[in-house]
Chains A and B, each alone.
Chain A
Amino acid sequence: MLLLELFTTFLLIGFVSFGGGYAMIPLIQEEVVNRHAWMTTQEFSDVIAVAGMSPGPIATNSAIFIGYGEAGVIGAMIAAAGMVIPSLLIILVVGMVFYKVQKSKLVKSAFYGLRPIITGLIMYAAFIFAVNNELISSISWHSLSLIGIYLASLAALIYFRIHPAYVIILSGLVGIAVYA
C-alpha cells in the first residue's frame, strides 16, 4: 500500500514537473509533507541538502531519498520509477514531433503563464522553509545568526558563483563551528 502511494505520488509530481530541479521542491513539499505527512518541513530541508550534495538531478535524488526513508531500497526504486516514467512516456509518445509543437504560439503562450506561476511557487517554498527553519521568528541571537548564514549563502551563490554543493558543505562546517 505504501509502495503504491509512493509510486502514484511521484508519478503525479513527475507529470507536472516542468522546470526540473528546484522548481519541483514546492510540489514535493505539498505531497510529501502536507498530504502524506511522511516527514516534517525541517526533515525535507535535510533531504534537499543531501540531494544537493549528490551527483545527478536534485528532484530525482530527493525522490530516491524519500522512498528509501519510507520503504528501503524497494521504496527508493519505486519512487525513482514514479518520477521518471512520465518523462519516458512523453518522449515515447510525443517524440520528435514535439520539437515542432514547441515552436507553436500556443505552447509559447502556455509557458508564458507557466513560468511566473512556478516562480511564485518557489518563492512560497522559500518562505515556508524560512518559517520552519526558524529564520522568520521572534528576534533572538539564534534567528539572527541563521539570517546571517542565509545572506552569506545567497552572496556566495549570486556574487561569487560558488557551486551549490560546495556552499552546502561550507555551511555545514560553519554550523559545526558555531552551533556544536
Chain B
Amino acid sequence: MDLKLLLQIFLTFLKIGPMTFGGGYAMIPLIEREVVERRKWISTRDIADIFAVAESIPGAIAINSATFIGYRLAGTRGAIVAMIGVLLPTFCIVVLLSLFFLRVQDHPKVEAAFVSIRATIVALITYAAYKIGRTAVVDKSTVALIAITFIVMVYLHIHPVLLIIGGAAVGIGLVFVKGKLGMTTITEQVDREPRYKYDDYYIGGGI
C-alpha cells in the first residue's frame, strides 16, 4: 500500500476540517477545490456523483464525502485515513470548547447569554424544519405525513428511529398503491438543484 498517498489523503482532509463553521455543507466547495482542482484526484463529473451519494447515506455530508473520496483513492485504508483526517481538527476544537464551556457555564454573564441563545436555537431548529419541509412537501400526502408525525410524537411518543424506518416504508407503499390506482407520484421537487450549491447549504440539507 502506498503510504505516501495515504499521508497525502490524511493531510488534505486534515486541512479542510477546521476551515468551516456550523455544518458540513460549507466544506463542500473546499473539498471540491482541493480534490478536483489542486490534487486532480477526482474528475468534476465524478465529484458530483460522490456528493450526491454522500448526502443520501446517513451522516454528515462532509465526513461522508471525505470517506468516499478516500475509499476511491486507496480502498478501505484510504477511507479510514480520510475520515480521521477530516474529524481530528474539529474533534480537538470541540473538546476544548466543551472544556471551556463547562468551566464558565455558571458565570452570571454566560448564564444570561445562554438564556437568549436558547431562544435562538429554537429559531434555528424552526428554520431547519422550514428548509427541509420545503423539499419534503410535493403533494397532499407529504403534508399529511408531516402533520401525522408531529401529532404522533406529541401524543403517542414513538421512538423517532421507528418513525424514520416507517417513513421509508410508507413512502414505498404510497407510491406503489398510487401506481396501482393509476396515479403517478412525483417523488421529489422537479427543479431540485444539487443542494451543495445553495447559499444556505449549511442548514437542513442532506435528503
**Residue positions of A touching B, CB distance < 8 A:** 12, 14-23, 25-27, 30, 42, 45-46, 48-61, 64-65, 68-69, 73, 76-77, 80, 83-84, 86-88, 90-92, 94-96, 98-99, 102, 105-127, 129-130, 133, 135, 146-147, 149-151, 153-154, 157-158, 161, 163-165, 167-168, 171-176, 178-180
- Interface of B, helix, strand, loop or mixed by DSSP: helix
B132 and A12 contacting across the interface, CB-CB below 8 Å: no
Q: Which 10 A-B pairs have the closest CB atoms?
A: A113-B171, A120-B149, A175-B116, A56-B90, A117-B167, A57-B60, A22-B128, A87-B59, A115-B136, A153-B123
Partner of A106, one of B128, B167, B172: B172
CB-contacts of B35-58 with A (<8 A): 49, 52-53, 55-58
Report the Cα distance A149→B118, complex, angstroms: 9
Q: If A109-B175, A179-B116 touch, does A19 touch B205 (CB 8 Å cutoff)?
A: yes
Q: Which residues of B contact A161 (CB under 8 A)?
A: 199-200
B112 and A180 contacting across the interface, CB-CB below 8 Å: yes
A108 and B187 contacting across the interface, CB-CB below 8 Å: yes
A57 and B129 contacting across the interface, CB-CB below 8 Å: no
B154 and A135 contacting across the interface, CB-CB below 8 Å: no
Closest B residue to A147 by beta carbon equals B119
Report the Cα distance A45→B98, complex, angstroms: 14
Q: What are 26 A-B contacts defined by CB distance under 8 Å?
A: A17-B58, A20-B60, A20-B61, A21-B25, A21-B202, A21-B204, A53-B22, A55-B19, A57-B24, A65-B98, A92-B76, A92-B79, A102-B52, A102-B53, A109-B174, A109-B185, A114-B168, A117-B163, A119-B136, A120-B146, A120-B153, A120-B163, A127-B154, A150-B126, A158-B127, A179-B115
Q: Which residues of A contact B109 (CB under 8 A)?
A: 176, 180
B188 and A91 contacting across the interface, CB-CB below 8 Å: no
Closest A residue to B67 by beta carbon equals A91
A109 and B171 contacting across the interface, CB-CB below 8 Å: yes
Given contacts A60-B60, A164-B124, A172-B117, list 20 more A-B pairs with CB under 8 A.
A14-B59, A21-B24, A22-B204, A45-B117, A50-B101, A55-B89, A56-B89, A57-B24, A57-B62, A76-B91, A91-B67, A91-B79, A116-B149, A126-B125, A129-B118, A149-B116, A149-B123, A164-B22, A172-B113, A175-B116
